[in-house]
Structure 1
Amino acid sequence: MRNGALPKNRLPVLVSPYGPHPGLALRVHDLTIRGHHTETLLAADEAEAIALTLGDLRTHRIVRLGRMYALNALGRLDEALQIAEELIADQALLGGPKATDAKILADAARVLIHLGRIDDGLHHVARSMTLLDVAPRQGARYFSAMSSLGEAARSADLFELADDAMQRCLESFDSPDDLYRSGAELTHAELWLEWALRLEQVGRTEEAAGLIARCEPVLRYWLEQGIDTPLGAALLAVCHAKSGRIAEAFAIVGDLLPRMRATGQLHESRLLHLAHGLALRATGEWRAARREFRAGLEHAVLRAERLLFQYELAVTAALEFPGEATQSMLESLHDHVQALWQLRMDRRTMLRQAYRRVELEAARTSADMAATSDPLTGLGNRRMFDRRIGAVMAGGSLLLIDVDHFKAINDRYSHGVGDRVLGEIAGVLRAHCRHDEVAIRFGGDEFALFLATTEKEARQVAERIRRVIESRDWDAVMPGLTVTLSMGLAACRPGEAGRDLYDRADAHLYVAKRAGRNQLAAA
């Protein structure tokens, strides 16, 4: 696909095409949604290399997401988790909209839950939910993040939360392209069908039938629109088999299953084997039904998928060979299914607790930021400085900055202009801070910058800041206004106390002032 365009009547993956080169990411995600997971990994190799060559870290991150989806689908969960952890770490470095961060957390949660790390996964789900609570509720980012939250909730059997997330996903949809709505609605239908199958296992057959009845019209509608979605057809085949439309189920399976097996689309093949087995069992063909369920079991990657086919095999055996042995086996498996279903309630409680913990953490962080932030510029304040100077270590540098003749700026142009100058300088300092580097405003016109660099690199940063401020178009703020900075730099020595580092940087600052200002002084 060129320029990120989707081919006509193709089903898109539910991701937002972020980054300057979205076509790279869209090809990877298109392969994933079509079930070509091995091809996805090859396409991701190429796309990641190109994105890195172009310096496009945001598109690279979306391609990595596509790789993670493919690895998850292939059951390579440890590799998928490694990418998930990398992406979460990148959030602090690259930043981005809250909905984007929420999506990454939800995708990571899904992998953790599949690995059995339920506590960690639910904590990520809770973090994703709190971010989405305050994110703008329209647009592609929110749409994509809510879809990922729904998938994460579904992986934990939290079907009610998943259903709510998918409904919010659809409500946020604001694109004129029906392809994206079709993708969301088909994902929602797949959720309903999985929910129905689980309800049926625990004896809640009326609720299960109601969900299947909701699935069928959605699936038929989009297939009638000409959307090329083997997944939608496979889901419809299962619905037909469950609702007694046996001939229609056979027709879909006969047309689609050989093609899906030939192209290696395992997810669709698994669903079609399920539909075929159910339809064969409904006609009394026990042996053929068991063959299809075993074939589906071979393609099952996740525990929930395997359990589904094991349950259907047990039901089929009990019908084919009625007696105490098969009935006992079925009852034992049924007890196991009931126990797993009961775990849903425990997970709902765990999620509520995790959500509350995340809320409390956010409240503490917000209170801490308010206590350590300068209200005018949003930089750290003197309290933040005292905290950082006490923890400074060798390998870092401290840059102290004064605005030259700032009192004269206030006297000549007004304190309002002076505040604008301070705000502009704060923005430049913030832009030059990397991860774990902090800009501080002491008060007045005094600033500090904690840099995680050697003295040589810190000199380069300081000179860039000085030149940016000196060359800025200050006439746009007030005609005739000029602004320059004096700076003192010191690199922390092994074993040096923070106060001694500050004294050396401060001494260098006064050297710069005595030498005529608008310059940097360092050892």
Structure 2
Amino acid sequence: MNRLPVLVSPYGPFAGIALRVHDLTMRGHHTETLLAADEAEAVAELLGDQRTRRISRQARMYALGALGRLDEALLIAEELVAEQSTLGGPKATDAKIMADAAEVLIHLGCIDDGLHYMAKALAVLKVAPRRSMRYFSAMASLAEAAQSAELYELADDAMRQAIEAFDVTDVQYRASASLAHVELWVEWALRLEQVGRAEEAAVLFRKSTTELEFWFGEGLDSPIGVAVLAICHAKGGRIPEALALVADLLPNMRATGQHHEARLLHLAHGLALRADGEWRAAGREFRAALQLSVLRSQKLFFQYEVAVTAALEFPGETTQAILEALQGHVDALWQLRMDRRTMLRQAFRRVELEAARTTADLAASSDALTGLGNRRMFDRRINAVTSGESLLLIDVDHFKGINDRYSHGVGDRVLSEIAAVLHAHCRHGEAAIRFGGDEFAMFLAVGEQEARQIAARIRGVLRSRDWDTIMPGLTVTLSMGLAEYRFGEAGPDLYNRADAGLYAAKVSGRDQLATV
């Protein structure tokens, strides 16, 4: 069938369909994102482009999270994690998916699970190639996950590494990356102020102001950047400048439904008004920001600011008691950061130990010559076959003659070539195994009819292979025996039926598949 030429892309041949969805949610148009994702995923599914569909699903997850629909976002996060082994891809992409899942879990209050995914992302990024957009994106997602757990030091380090790996010279892209880092600093500074560490907060506000003013001087065009700068001005005593920025932008952000930007602008406005002693007006701004908050952490932050402002406007025992109660809650949550840091270290250690055990188990279950599973793996798999699966046994025809005529070195090359073909025909959950010598087995997650088609393809690939490139005159064919699992059947009985088919193929002239 004729196909249209398509540029090769690690994100899928039709990635542009989903990148529009991703762009919408990055610009804060989350409701529109969901509608665009419906269209993009339907088209990608029709075209059979699962990688492009994955990009759209990620963007949908971000939009749902921003809208506070965290249970729905978690379902997509779990789906994307489950798809990793099926779709494959770069290590950094795997790390990004795990970091995104971690962020959703932490916002839902599932701290243990979220930190476990963060630890897995950290372990993968430790060995992933750097200096790429994928690595930058994964590190940025890790920073957001750490930020959601208030592990600001880790988030800061992750964003620094992300920017160092950002191998793009475009000013707007680099400015956007720096803006994400500054937004982290400002949130960190605001939380430090709430727990009484004002000097540390002031350092971060000054650093943020310097960075933002530099990028605006370079041509940065970002409503979020303006909102964050307005907060910095309010905290730095530059009240008229803060108020001017808010007045220019807030009505438009409210009108277009860009709630994140509007929430930050209401915060800046409230901080500026409170610094000027306009407590009632400041309280209105903080309550407006609270109404636009969807995450529990956001709501607690603005509830605290409302309480601080009320205590200034209406000094007395009641408002002071409310403020002290909230202050105690805020302080307790801040102290939990230390527990989370310890939990993350422990989770990272567990992930490293699991990886070491997996590596050791894989080495013990692998054939040294071909890299396929060995007899130990076969013994484990034969008793785990279930309905709808099949066992395919394979022998190389006249393999002793190949060794005798051409040498054992040529024989080893033949076995390696066959192993590569068998491995290429294994899908997720399936396995190719070398017993030893010239005997192979495949555990296939399909019934007999589809298994026959797979066996035919394998024999066809090897028959068409130009074996003369290894040794002139060399020919290689396979005999195969196939058995589909029968309900309640013991592993040895399944093996015996496949082996009987293999014997029948040999006595019938070899180079064929047989079942009994």
Match of 1:9 in 2: none
1:273 pairs with 2:266: yes
Question: Displacement of 1:482 after TM fit?
Answer: 2.3
Match of 1:337 in 2: 330
1:484 pairs with 2:477: yes
Task: Give CA-to-partner distance per residue, 1:36-87, whole Å, 9 cap, x none.
Answer: 0001111111111111122111111111000000000000001000000110
1:115 pairs with 2:111: no
1:310 pairs with 2:303: yes
Match of 1:65 in 2: 58
CA distance in structure 1 between the aligned counterparts of 2:258 and 2:308, rounded to whole angstroms: 27
Pairing 1:123-202 to 2, within 5 Å after superposition: 123-202=116-195
Match of 2:75 in 1: 82
Tell me: CA distance 1:217–1:414, structure 2 relative to 1, closer, same or farther (3 Å): farther
Question: Displacement of 1:116 after TM fit?
Answer: 0.6
Task: Give CA-to-partner distance per residue, 1:101-125, whole Å, 9 cap, x none.
Answer: 1110100010011111111111111
CA distance in structure 1 between the aligned counterparts of 2:387 and 2:245, rounded to whole angstroms: 68
Match of 1:8 in 2: none
Pairing 1:254-403 to 2, within 5 Å after superposition: 254-403=247-396
CA distance in structure 2 between the aligned counterparts of 1:480 and 1:218, rounded to whole angstroms: 70
Tell me: CA distance 1:85–1:479, structure 2 relative to 1, closer, same or farther (3 Å): same
2:25 to 26, 32, 57: 32
Residue 487 of structure 1 aligns to a residue whose secondary structure is strand
CA distance in structure 2 between the aligned counterparts of 1:241 and 1:89, rounded to whole angstroms: 45
Q: Give yes or no for contact 2:430–2:442 (8 Å, CA) kept in 1.
A: yes
- The alignment's TM-score, normalised by the length of structure 1, stands at 0.95
Task: Give CA-to-partner distance per residue, 1:287-316, whole Å, 9 cap, x none.
Answer: 111111110000011111111211111111
CA distance in structure 2 between the aligned counterparts of 1:281 and 1:164, rounded to whole angstroms: 33
2:229 to 236, 244, 247: 236
Q: Which amino acid aligns with 2:99?
A: A
CA distance in structure 1 between the aligned counterparts of 2:409 and 2:225, rounded to whole angstroms: 61
Question: Displacement of 1:193 after TM fit?
Answer: 0.5
Question: Displacement of 1:517 after TM fit?
Answer: 1.6
CA distance in structure 1 between the aligned counterparts of 2:279 and 2:52, rounded to whole angstroms: 50
Pairing 1:220-235 to 2, within 5 Å after superposition: 220-235=213-228
Question: Displacement of 1:226 after TM fit?
Answer: 2.4
Q: Which amino acid aligns with 1:297?
A: L
2:434 to 441, 444, 463: 441
CA distance in structure 2 between the aligned counterparts of 1:180 and 1:369, rounded to whole angstroms: 42
Q: Which amino acid aligns with 1:378?
A: G
Q: Which amino acid aligns with 2:274?
A: R
Question: Displacement of 1:146 after TM fit?
Answer: 0.6
CA distance in structure 2 between the aligned counterparts of 1:160 and 1:515, rounded to whole angstroms: 70
Q: Give yes or no for contact 1:4–1:26 (8 Å, CA) kept in 2.
A: no
2:457 to 440, 461, 464: 464
Question: Displacement of 1:4 after TM fit?
Answer: 13
Q: Give yes or no for contact 1:280–1:289 (8 Å, CA) kept in 2.
A: yes
Question: Displacement of 1:448 after TM fit?
Answer: 0.1
1:430 pairs with 2:419: no
CA distance in structure 2 between the aligned counterparts of 1:223 and 1:479, rounded to whole angstroms: 69
Q: Give yes or no for contact 1:397–1:450 (8 Å, CA) kept in 2.
A: yes
Q: Which amino acid aligns with 1:176?
A: T
CA distance in structure 2 between the aligned counterparts of 1:176 and 1:423, rounded to whole angstroms: 45
Task: Give CA-to-partner distance per residue, 1:358-378, whole Å, 9 cap, x none.
Answer: 111111111111110111111
Count of matched residue positions in the alignment of Structure 1 and Structure 2: 511
CA distance in structure 2 between the aligned counterparts of 1:423 and 1:58, rounded to whole angstroms: 30
Q: Give yes or no for contact 2:500–2:515 (8 Å, CA) kept in 1.
A: no
Q: Give yes or no for contact 2:171–2:218 (8 Å, CA) kept in 1.
A: no
Task: Give CA-to-partner distance per residue, 1:378-410, whole Å, 9 cap, x none.
Answer: 110000001111222332110001112222333
CA distance in structure 2 between the aligned counterparts of 1:519 and 1:363, rounded to whole angstroms: 41
Tell me: CA distance 1:4–1:199, structure 2 relative to 1, closer, same or farther (3 Å): farther
Residue 488 of structure 2 aligns to a residue whose secondary structure is coil
Q: Which amino acid aligns with 1:100?
A: T
Q: Which amino acid aligns with 1:220?
A: E
CA distance in structure 2 between the aligned counterparts of 1:350 and 1:44, rounded to whole angstroms: 36
Question: Displacement of 1:34 after TM fit?
Answer: 0.7
Q: Which amino acid aligns with 2:293?
A: A
- Indicate the RMSD between aligned Cα atoms, in angstroms: 1.7
Q: Give yes or no for contact 1:17–1:25 (8 Å, CA) kept in 2.
A: no
Question: Displacement of 1:17 after TM fit?
Answer: 7.4
Question: Displacement of 1:427 after TM fit?
Answer: 1.7
Q: Give yes or no for contact 1:286–1:320 (8 Å, CA) kept in 2.
A: yes
Match of 2:487 in 1: 494
Q: Give yes or no for contact 2:395–2:478 (8 Å, CA) kept in 1.
A: yes
Q: Give yes or no for contact 1:474–1:481 (8 Å, CA) kept in 2.
A: yes
Pairing 1:81-100 to 2, within 5 Å after superposition: 81-100=74-93
Match of 2:202 in 1: 209
Match of 1:43 in 2: 36
CA distance in structure 1 between the aligned counterparts of 2:206 and 2:410, rounded to whole angstroms: 66
20-29 vs 71-80, which moves further:
20-29
Q: Give yes or no for contact 1:4–1:24 (8 Å, CA) kept in 2.
A: no
Indicate the structure whose relative CO is greater, using CA pairs within 8 Å and at least 6 residues apart: 1
Q: Give yes or no for contact 1:32–1:69 (8 Å, CA) kept in 2.
A: yes
Question: Displacement of 1:221 after TM fit?
Answer: 2.3
* Identity across the alignment (%): 73
Q: Give yes or no for contact 2:481–2:498 (8 Å, CA) kept in 1.
A: yes
Residue 376 of structure 1 aligns to a residue whose secondary structure is coil
CA distance in structure 1 between the aligned counterparts of 2:240 and 2:433, rounded to whole angstroms: 72
Q: Point out where structure 1 has 5 or more consecutive residues left out of the alignment.
A: 6-15
Q: Which amino acid aligns with 2:449?
A: K
CA distance in structure 2 between the aligned counterparts of 1:103 and 1:250, rounded to whole angstroms: 38
Match of 1:106 in 2: 99
CA distance in structure 1 between the aligned counterparts of 2:47 and 2:171, rounded to whole angstroms: 32
CA distance in structure 2 between the aligned counterparts of 1:433 and 1:252, rounded to whole angstroms: 59
Q: Which amino acid aligns with 2:131?
A: Q
CA distance in structure 2 between the aligned counterparts of 1:426 and 1:228, rounded to whole angstroms: 55
Residue 203 of structure 1 aligns to a residue whose secondary structure is coil
Q: Which amino acid aligns with 1:490?
A: A
87-96 vs 61-70, which moves further:
87-96
Q: Give yes or no for contact 1:394–1:496 (8 Å, CA) kept in 2.
A: no
Question: Displacement of 1:420 after TM fit?
Answer: 2.3
